[in-house]
Amino acid sequence: MSTVQCVLAGSAQMMLFALSLPKESIVVVEGAVALLDNPLRYTTVREVEIQVRKLYCISRAAPKLPISVEDAGRSAEEFAKAEAKGVPLPCVGQDTRLDYRVIDLRTAAGQAVFRVQHQVENKFREYLSSKDFISIHTPKLISGSSEGGAAVFKLEYKNGKCACLAQSPQLHKQMAICGGFCRVFEVGSVFRAEDSNTHRHLCEFVGLDAEMEIMRHYFEVCDIVDGLFVELLRHLNENCKTELEAINRQYPFEPVKYLESTLRLSYEEGIQMLKEAGTEIEPMADLNTEAEKKLGQLVREKYDTDFFILYRYPLAARPFYTMPCYDNPAYSNSFDVFLRGEHKNCSSFT
């Protein structure tokens, strides 16, 4: 979504007409594009403005809307500054945003989030297609649980039978590989009846899943994941600058740091870094949340990257189907991808 400054250059009658239009009305303008001496700060189009000669109202908004786009688009910093001055601003809570989602979507950040998602999905498809993956669509309404370790949504089906919403496309992707497709991917909905109320647990999300044959070594999978994330992060930085700026204004964040050739650490190397920093880890055990965050911090300080791969986990810390290492069966042919101290689920690749 782009914004541009419009300056009325017509008659006094047109100016009165413009002043009578409620905010969020849909209008069409005709005018001349004029270069500015000084770039604007509050619009996305900053070098020019439109000197309006004609103004048409296509759809007049209600005089009083339940929420304003301006209020819905404020950052926490704006609220804090207003509070410090003793002039608190209206705060739009999450429930209110969802009740009036159509208006909430008109904020700069709301628009930008969807546009970035669009770019992520497109790049995911484009990159994997270039690596000879093909897109498939797996069932989302199935007869039983698709993952034993995740809660499942059950619903009444026909003739008294029960059906489940798919928790993962994992089994169907593996069936496609066994059927001779070699490399497949899917962009589709995933449903999990999670009880945990954290940012890492969602009841519904869009999964980016892939599955592939391994010819000689599981690092072939690491190579695909490595290339995918690096290409994706580069693409967003180069093609979504305006959208990322809009999101950052309302929800401040630091740009992701990454290496062109992704850092790969063995489990033992990661554990050694944690021990040297004074973090005790149970021998041959999986990393807990605190240890993951600490390792992410140590990696950033040492290697200047937020993104890395940790591989060769202890076999006891991985699911039963994980393949043991040929040189030491106490370890496994497995890996996790870490971004800012949190591992991202790549079991679909392993």
pLDDT score at 11: 85
pLDDT of residue 348: 37
pLDDT of residue 349: 40
pLDDT of residue 237: 96
Residue 331, pLDDT score: 96
Looking at residue 321, what is its pLDDT? Answer: 84
Kindly list the distances between the CA atom of residue 8 and the CA atoms of 4, 17, 26, 111, 228, in Å, as whole numbers in the listed order. 13, 11, 16, 27, 48
Tracing tokens 């001055």 back to the chain, one arrives at 85
Residues of the chain short of pLDDT 70, as ranges, are: 148-150, 344-350
Q: pLDDT by residue (tens digit) across 108-131? A: 999 999 999 999 999 999 999 999
Question: How many CB atoms sit inside 10 A of residue 37's CB?
Answer: 4
Sign of the dihedral through C-alpha 61, 63, 67, 73:
positive
Helix, strand, or coil (residue 73): coil
User: For residues 136 and 125, is the Cβ–Cβ distance under 8 A?
Assistant: no
pLDDT of residue 44: 84
> What pLDDT does 320 receive?
85
Q: Summarize pLDDT for 247-280 with one digit per residue, the tens.
A: 999 999 999 999 999 999 999 999 999 999 999 8
